[in-house]
Amino acid sequence: MPSPVIEPLLILQDRDTKRLALEAQLKAVPGDIARVEQKIAAEKAAIETARLEARELESKKKLIETEIGSTGDKLARYNTQQSLVKKNDEYQALGHQIETAQKEINEFEGQELEVMYAIDEAKNKFTAAEATLKANISGHESRIKLLREREVSLAAELKTAQAAVAAAREPVSETNRRIYDRIAARNMPAVVALHDVKCGGCHLKVSSEVESAARGKGLDVAGQLATCDQCGRIVYWES
Ligand SMILES: [Zn+2]
């Protein structure tokens, strides 16, 4: 049994540990929510990217169609002119222009086909991205809802835990409370048992003075605490 000085400290430490765990869990919730929100945003962005891509390709297609139209007009004009000219060299020059215009049209048509394939691809991407969001959104939303509920219940649990800590501090003397707080701020657990003369916190051997103090020999009525030579934790003898 731990000494009457150590016992309330162990109770305080136990409650403090619970409080710290709750605090850590509560602190993690906003980050968890943000991660889910980021997933939703990323899925929405994928839809928007595919939509914009399809739209850009559609306007590119329209531009090519305009080019095909105007080159076609040019071709028709050359054909008419060619049917009217008498001189052979003029006929040949127009024939050359007709050939060039026809080549241009073929090229534009090839481009148009490529764009049309790309539009199909972009539309497929859009559909797939939309399906992904649709499939995941309810999961994402219920996860966020769950996290928000968890945040509320953790906050309530933390309040209870804080009250329990406050109650556990009462039976500890002011001096010991101060020692405990100082150690707990940097090293939890702050109160550890000695195992084979080794500190339960840092696992290093303590001096014989600390050992005998922990055993309660020479412990004054004020209940002076034995602390580890190495890490400074409060050590006690578990008999
Ligand atoms: Zn130690």
Residue type, 49: T
What is the average pLDDT across 174-193?
95
DSSP H helix total and E strand total for the chain:
4, 4
Of the given ranges (50-59, 65-74, 94-103, 209-218), which has the lowest mean pLDDT?
A: 209-218
Sequence-separated (6 or more) residues with CB below 8 Å from residue 218: 212
CA of 17 from ligand 1 middle (Å) equals: 18
Chain segment 158-182, per-residue pLDDT in tens: 999 999 999 999 999 999 999 999 9
Closest among 194, 190, 184 to 239, alpha carbons compared = 194
Residue 217 main-chain phi, psi, to 5 deg = -75, 130
- Residue 208 confidence class, pLDDT cut points 50, 70, 90: very high
Q: Tell the residue number behind the tokens 């800590």, with chain if given.
A: 165
Average per-residue pLDDT for the chain: 94
Q: What is the pLDDT of residue 3?
A: 83
Q: pLDDT at residue 13 above 60?
A: yes
CA of 202 from ligand 1 middle (Å) equals: 4
- Residue 124 confidence class, pLDDT cut points 50, 70, 90: very high
Q: What is the pLDDT of residue 206?
A: 95
Q: pLDDT at residue 65 above 80?
A: yes
CA of 52 from ligand 1 middle (Å) equals: 63
User: How many other C-beta atoms can be found within 10 angstroms of the C-beta atom of residue 114?
Assistant: 14
Residues 51, 126: contact at Cβ < 8 Å? Answer: yes
CA of 144 from ligand 1 middle (Å) equals: 42
CA of 26 from ligand 1 middle (Å) equals: 30
Q: What is the pLDDT of residue 51?
A: 95
- Residue 223 confidence class, pLDDT cut points 50, 70, 90: low
Q: What is the pLDDT of residue 2?
A: 74
What are the angstrom distances between the C-alpha of 3 and each of 130, 152, 219? 66, 39, 11
CA of 54 from ligand 1 middle (Å) equals: 66
The residues that bridge with 199 in the sheet, in sequence order, are 194
CA of 38 from ligand 1 middle (Å) equals: 43
- State percent of the chain over pLDDT 90: 90
Chain segment 26-44, per-residue pLDDT in tens: 999 999 999 999 999 999 9
What is the average pLDDT across 199-214?
93
CA of 196 from ligand 1 middle (Å) equals: 13
Q: pLDDT at residue 217 above 90?
A: no
What is the average pLDDT across 97-110?
97
pTM of the predicted model as reported, rounded to 2 decimal places: 0.74
Q: pLDDT at residue 107 above 90?
A: yes
Q: pLDDT at residue 218 above 60?
A: no
CA of 231 from ligand 1 middle (Å) equals: 4
CA of 164 from ligand 1 middle (Å) equals: 27
Closest among 106, 101, 109, 105 to 79, alpha carbons compared = 101
CA of 172 from ligand 1 middle (Å) equals: 22
